[in-house]
Structure 1
Amino acid sequence: MISLTLPYPISANRYWASRVVTVKGRQMPMVYVTSEAKAYIERVGWICKSAGIRQPLAGRLRVTVQLYPHRPQDWQARMRKFGANWDDTVQCMDLTNCEKVLLDALNTIAFNDDKQVRSYVADRMEPDEHGARVVLRIEPLIVVQPQADLLPALVAAPPAPAPFTPIPEGLPF
């Protein structure tokens, strides 16, 4: 299992950019990763290396994310005014916006490809005194095969196919 605390991700709107390029006299749109995104990916890579990650995990994975937005200076006033829901007034990126940016940043570092992620759970947390960040856990997803002891018998002797019986002509089907 890998546990990491990463910097707050950049928005997907700042992760990708597009521009129109001219190729052989034709204008074509081009989408590219911004320099800000490259800097975020590099920073995540260094944090992973300092946490001892030397090679990507293999197999199916479960990723659990806790997204902590920045706590504003007036958080106590918001708490008095809005009660337990005060953190709904805090600016925070969407969890789905966060997902793609994080998985792309961890691609080839913590795992080989983000298609390995078979389970993804994300929670937006209440801002606290530790600042904006992402707390992330990556763990192997263990696939349980019920009655796995029966599997060798099925592989050794697969059931015979049912014989083909033609439908007699003249039936009202």
Structure 2
Amino acid sequence: MGEPLGWPAVIGMVGGVVGLLGGLASFGDRFYKGRPVGSLTSQNSFGNTLVLVRIKNTTNYDVLITYATERKGVYFLADGPEVESIVRGQLGREAFKPFMLKPSEEKELRVQAKYKDGVAVEALGKKYVEFWIHWRRGNALWLPQIPLLVCGDTQTIRRIAGVE
């Protein structure tokens, strides 16, 4: 049988656990509290319901939104109804220019369907979609950040838009 642990070993073990919990709390504070927020929303425009991704800066400093991706190739995010933005998105290029958000400021980007052979890809069945919004802190533009994730599925997005 082994010897029982002495007080120094117990104190060291408790200190290690407390240190680990403190490190995890610091990680959460650094990477998840001090970041903008993204969410799906909708807006009525001339009798049509538009589906949008709202990005809100909840931090005390400016943030730069650099670009957004959607890996399934079903949608893209555009600045608005401008032809240039929509054509760039259909071609797989960035459909909006990088922009800065001041503290408490927000911006909405339109969710636009991609088309293949004249058919909206979203109409080909229920698919899970993820919008990854890439950003940088205004005080350290060189430092990569964990992208914002806004997710859903094509059926829900079509319901919000009033298509289904």
More strand per residue: 1 or 2? 2
Q: TM-score, normalised by structure 1?
A: 0.24
More helix per residue: 1 or 2? 1
Report which of the two structures shows the higher radius of gyration computed on alpha carbons: 1
Q: TM-score, normalised by structure 2?
A: 0.25
